[in-house]
Amino acid sequence: MQTTKQDKTATDPATQDAVEFLEAEHRAVEKLFAAFKKTADDDLDAKATLAQRACEELSIHTMLEEELLYPAAQAALPDSDAIDVEEAYIEHFLVKTLIAKFETLKAGDRGFDATFKVMSEMVGHHVEEEEQELFPELRKSNCNLRSLGEKMAIRKAELQSKLDAVGSKAVGDKTAAL
């Protein structure tokens, strides 16, 4: 079977533009949220693993957006009334605050599931705004999304490598090392 450019783009982060790259990341985190929601209340190991993985993914994702996407968006869309990058920074701050709660919360603790649920709802809202407002505006702008996507793929690999080097400590300990 012959691989088309579209097939390769869907699977190879290095060939994705920034919007495709971030949308793929959004889908991956949504899968983790959905799996958590389906997990039995008494399957604490699975809940802990899913929460840790989601926190790791979100930590890297927020760094990519804050270091690369938002500065590029501000430069490419300086006069846009519809795009509020400052709001996105605040939403990231709130999600990072919830991620930090998992430094002390363990699966089965009071508030663990509620914290994860609120975090998933906040991320869902944030994703919706990005995909319906920011990403379409970026597509219409002069922003080089292919180059930005390549930078994101490289930076994600660097951050993932640092995360992997830290090992399997608490989520907060890992993200602090990044």
Cβ–Cβ under 8 Å, residues 154 and 63: no
Q: Is 131 exposed, middle or buried (0-12, 13-18, 19+ CB in 10 A)?
A: middle
Q: Which residues contact 105 (CB under 8 A, 6 or more apart)?
A: 111, 112, 115
Q: pLDDT tens digit string along 128-176? A: 999 999 999 999 999 999 999 999 999 999 999 988 888 644 444 444 4
The pTM of the full predicted model, rounded to 2 decimals, is 0.83
Pair of tokens at residue 93:
């701050």
Q: pLDDT tens digit string along 78-112? A: 877 656 788 899 999 999 999 999 999 999 999 99
Residue range 2-26: average pLDDT? 69
Q: How remote is the C-alpha of 112 from its chain's centroid?
A: 20
What confidence score (pLDDT) does residue 42 get?
95
- Which of 78, 68, 88 is closest to 19 using CA atoms? 68
Cα 37–Cα 102–Cα 112 angle in degrees, nearest 5: 45
